[in-house]
Amino acid sequence: MSETSEKLLESAKKIADQAKELAVQASDIAKEAASNLAAGDNVSAVDAMSTAAQSGVSPFVFQFAIFVLSIFIGYYVVWSVTPALHTPLMAVTNAISSVIVVGALLAVGISSASGAATTFGFVALVLASVNIFGGFLVTQRMLAMYKKRER
């Protein structure tokens, strides 16, 4: 790997460690709030939740950090795949896209959903459908490469 990619990977590891620590803290606070709610102590549960909101990072920043880390991990995973593994991985990608199609159909079909949810659901439906169709085409071409040619 190049020096730049090593630095990026190292900084991503540091961010992941920090995110893990925050997630453990949030989990502990959530468990405390749940036990207080189960015991009927609503005031302590609210205090625990407000402590969680004040002590941690905002949910947007936490989720954005996970998104950025997934981009780096995905990049390194995809570019290090050998051609022999391409077809099984494409099958898994198609399976994941089919789950996205189900969720997008639910988002489009729910009448009480907002206009933005319906729009994003439709866009997700179109993109996932293109991904599935393209994945099957690429897989078919890859498998055709291994067939014996008739003379």
Contact 24, 62 (CB under 8 A): no
Note the pLDDT of residue 97: 81
Q: What is the pLDDT of residue 51?
A: 59
CA separation for the pair 51, 124 (Å, rounded): 36
pLDDT score at 33: 62
Q: What is the pLDDT of residue 42?
A: 53
Diameter of the chain by CA atoms? 81
- Give Cα separations from 37 to 27, 30, 45, 46, 149 (angstroms): 15, 10, 6, 9, 69
136 to 84, 103, 132, 139: CA distances (angstroms): 16, 21, 6, 5
Long-range (24+ apart) CB contacts under 8 A made by 54-63 are 55/25, 55/29, 56/22, 56/25, 56/26, 57/22, 62/19, 62/22
Render pLDDT for 54-68 as a digit per residue (tens, 0 to 9): 556 677 777 777 888
Q: Are 104 and 125 in contact (CB under 8 A)?
A: yes
**pLDDT of res. 19:** 74
pTM recorded for the entire structure = 0.42
Query: How big is the CA angle at 71 (ends 67 and 75), to the nearest 5 degrees?
Result: 165
Tokens at residue 99, please?
A: 């789950």
pLDDT of residue 54: 58
Would you state the pLDDT for residue 52? Answer: 53
Query: In this predicted structure, what is the pLDDT of residue 50?
Result: 57
> What does pLDDT average to in each consecutive run of 10 residues of the chain (151 residues)?
73 78 70 63 54 63 78 78 72 78 81 76 86 81 77 64
pLDDT of residue 85: 74
